A and B are shown apart, each in its own frame.
Chain A
Amino acid sequence: MKFKLLMIILLLNFSLVNGEEKKVDQNTIHKNLRCLVCQGQSIADSNSDFAQTIKLVVKDLIKDGKTESEIYAFMADKYGDWIVFKPQVNKQNFILWFLPYLALVLGGVIIFFLFKRRRN
């Protein structure tokens, strides 16, 4: 009996977690989209005409069953990567994404060799 109950709870929990994953949060998308006609504001922060229109389109895309990344891809396709605050990694921008890590590693290597030389 206890085992069955545990299984039901686990199954319910699993479906709830899955449900959460599938849910697309409109506000998160608004926050990650840049208002292109404003100064440093996101679509969520802005009341401009542009932001209002983008909000309507995002709502429609969610209604059409598009995922968060599909919506970002749609917007980037129409307005360029600049519209997304956190652009997805692609051929054009992968250096920007990985350069800081590369610099960190290289810096570490340089420091290591400097210390090694001083010790010697």
Chain B
Amino acid sequence: MKISKSFKIYIHIILVFLVSQSLNSTEDFSKNIVIHEKPLIIKELKFKDFNLQDVDLTNKKGNIMIINFWASWCLPCRQEHVLLTQLSKEKNLKLLGVNFKDKKKQAEMFLNELGNPYDFLTKDELGKSSVKFGVYGIPESILVNKDLMILKKFVGPLSTEDYDSIVEIIN
């Protein structure tokens, strides 16, 4: 069978394309970590507290912070709570908890039972504030630097690998 010259060139182009694609692929094996291509900066940290009063935590920047979205009805949140409690012992890190679509009484029971690792505790009753942070669901944690620039975003419960990477960044 005779193969035309143009067809051979075409096959070569396709092969070069496929090889370059596989060489350039930067697949991250930690599937739950989202790293933004261009740095995203959070402009403000405006929430409501547990008594539904407005709180502006933007002036609390200056610390590396984890913004953790959680709820008492969320089972994976229980799972990651141990790691959050451990992280709360780190001196260079502040924890901001955002209670997501939850009832006040149940959220308080959750914290009484498992402990409160958060330096700041806020509430997102309808989930609207979480959209500003690009949250898909809970649990989700966002690691921000002193200028509120997003360093990493952890979708799903924090794992021990995530814990190690956070500790590495803050120290």
Contact = CB atoms under 8 A, between A and B. Distances in A.
B137 A56 contact: no
B131 A54 contact: yes
Contacts of B126: 53, 56
| Chain A at the B interface: SS class | helix
A36 B136 contact: yes
Contacts of A50: 136-137
B146 interface: no
A37 B136 contact: yes
Contacts, number: 27
A56 B128 contact: yes
Nearest to B138: A49
Interface residues of B, number: 11
Chain A interface: which size bin? Answer: 10 to 19
B63 interface: no
Contacts of A2: none
Interface of A: 36-37, 49-50, 52-54, 56-57, 60, 78-79
6 shortest interchain CB distances as A-B pairs: A53-B127, A78-B134, A57-B131, A79-B134, A57-B128, A56-B128
